[in-house]
Amino acid sequence: MTLISKRRTLSRVKMLDLLKGLADSDSNDALTLYLPPRLPAAERDNALNGLAATPDILTRLAELAGSSGTGSVVFWSPAVKYLVVPPFPVSQKHVTQSLHPERLQSLIERDYLIALLLVRLGSYAIGVCRGERLVNSKVGTGLVHGRHKKGGSSAHRFERHRDKQIEYFLTRVCQRAREQLDIHLKSLDYVVYGGARTTIQLLRKQCPFIGKLDAPALPSLFDIPEPRQAVLETAVSRVWSSTVYEWVEG
């Protein structure tokens, strides 16, 4: 029998539905592995070797588990073969000789308080969500010219002017971040950065307030388009989504 893997992204609701189905299914000859992020490779591989899977599938499982910033959960039985990359970190390793979705279900059901900072040069979206509901947000833009394509002294003047535009823009974003996040500073569970990687790095360097966000960071969203309200709302849904790999007969 040849097994092939399929990848899909499930919303919070759909993921909880899948877990409910697992809880109700026959779990004979089953194994569930909760693997936290940054688990030593030898310990991870030793846990995976308990699965009734071919060497190529075990290698793929190890790759997926090892590359996940939030860890992974494996549900494995003759009828069920899943690896789930959850939206929030798996806290500790746990092995059960049955299908045991309850820990993951509890992780996804909790309404975490999450800050989102999405920034590209010229636009930003900052918000705080409780569960999937935005409790406050601010979206804005700022003038930042593109790079000068020609050389010469005029290009140097243009770049100095552009640098000032960037500095002013990031100062505004820092102020908006303080306005939106300050009252939640001590109660945040997680923070998510998104937009342009270099712009986020500049903002974190220029904005002392962001240095106070000591909540752990979830995987970044560097592939999002120009931040707008709709983009922010979509980002919230993405933060709460799980990635599921399923092995089925080919």
Residues 145 and 175 in one domain: yes
pLDDT for the residue 1: 66
Encoding tokens for residue 47?
A: 């846990």
pLDDT for the residue 93: 97
Domain membership of residue 94 (yes or no) is yes
Tokens 């010229």, located at residue: 122
Domain of 78, in residue numbers:
3-110
- Dist. CA 195–CA 193, nearest whole Å: 7
Residue 200 sits in a domain whose CATH number is: 3.30.420.60
Q: What is the mean pLDDT of each run of 10 residues along the chain (250 residues)?
A: 91 97 84 97 96 95 97 96 98 95 97 98 96 96 64 60 84 95 95 95 93 93 95 98 95
Residues 172 and 223 in one domain: yes
Residue 49 sits in a domain whose CATH number is: 3.30.960.10
**Residue 53: half-sphere exposure toward Cβ, Cα within 13 Å:** 32
Residues 204 and 98 in one domain: no
Q: Counting every residue, how long is the chain?
A: 250
Torsion angle defined by CA atoms of residues 225, 226, 228 and 234, in that order, rounded to the nearest 10 degrees: 10
pLDDT for the residue 158: 57
Count of domains observed in the chain: 2
pLDDT for the residue 160: 74
Which residues, at least 6 apart from 28, have a Cβ–Cβ distance to it below 8 Å?
A: 77, 78
Domain membership of residue 187 (yes or no) is yes
pLDDT for the residue 142: 80
Domain membership of residue 39 (yes or no) is yes
Residues 131 and 233 in one domain: yes
